[in-house]
Amino acid sequence: MCGRYTITVTLEELLARYEAENMSAEYQPRYNIAPGQMVPAVIAGAEGRRLGMLRWGLVPPWADDPKIGNRMINARAETLEERPAYRNAYRTKRCLIPADGFYEWKKIAGGPSRPFRITLRGGGLFSLAGLYETWTSPDGDRLHTCAVLTTEPNRLMADIHDRMPVILRKEDEDLWLDRRVREPAKLAGLLAPYPAEEMEAYEVGRLVGNVANDVPACLEKANG
């Protein structure tokens, strides 16, 4: 799964990387993003890319209770066509979720799990493949939400966890965002594990285990 991640660049850097129009004043660098929080996302607008904020945890339009989003932070790439909650969004409401790292916990026999931060080799921004939806309450209030797609782990991730987020190559981002593309067969090739040799991982301290800790120290390598 993907349950925590980071995006530590400035707003100016983010807008420049995605060549996007800013639709939100809420953005700030984050070091320990957790489900249920508002996250920056890029979608395709009529006149180009737009950057806005979505709540992490997808709520389908037909849901009776928005709390369903608490259980829908990740969508398995292998079953998107089978899940009613994701099927329509996969065809028409795809987004990019910018990140520069994500956390995963490695299970240790006889001991506590150890947190790792995974990045591109050499650092830098990358795009997690996401889906988004809009849910409307009986009173007419609108809630914009998203989920991160996950896939099988690559060689690097397999030693840490049995899933990893879908990371898109920069040259594939336009295809993923193109709302005119509605055939899953044209998108399936983008959902493969990102090459292990282009990524790296390092153990971090247990500070990241508490969602209240959203500070640069979360990025630091663990002692020893």
Q: Which of 47, 78, 104, 197 is catalytic?
A: 104
User: Is the pLDDT score of 150 beyond 90?
Assistant: yes
CB of 90 within 8 A of CB of 184? yes
**Residue carrying structure tokens 């737009």:** 50
Quote the mean pLDDT of the chain. Answer: 95
Domain that holds residue 209: 4-219
How far is CA 171 from each of CA 43, 48, 116, 166, 213, rounded to the nearest angstrom?
16, 16, 28, 14, 34
Lowest mean pLDDT among 21-25, 121-125, 163-167: 21-25
Assigned domain for 98 exists: yes
Specify the pLDDT at position 110.
86
Assigned domain for 142 exists: yes
- Known catalytic membership, residue 104: yes
pLDDT digits (tens, 9 = 90+) for 171-221: 999 999 999 999 999 999 999 999 999 999 999 999 999 999 999 999 999
Which band of pLDDT confidence, cut at 50, 70 and 90, is reported for residue 154? very high
What's the sign of the alpha-carbon dihedral 212, 20, 12, 124? positive
pTM of the model: 0.96
Which band of pLDDT confidence, cut at 50, 70 and 90, is reported for residue 47? confident
Assigned domain for 35 exists: yes
Specify the pLDDT at position 46.
82
> What whole-number percentage of the chain has pLDDT above 90?
92
Assigned domain for 224 exists: no
Assigned domain for 151 exists: yes
Assigned domain for 59 exists: yes
Query: How many independent structural domains does the chain possess?
Result: 1
- Known catalytic membership, residue 200: no
Specify the pLDDT at position 111.
87
Specify the pLDDT at position 88.
95
User: Is the pLDDT score of 145 beyond 80?
Assistant: yes
pLDDT digits (tens, 9 = 90+) for 91-132: 999 999 999 999 999 999 888 999 999 999 999 999 999 999
* Neighbouring C-alpha atoms within 13 Å toward the C-beta of 163: 14
What CATH number is given to the structural domain containing 50? 3.90.1680.10
Specify the pLDDT at position 224.
60
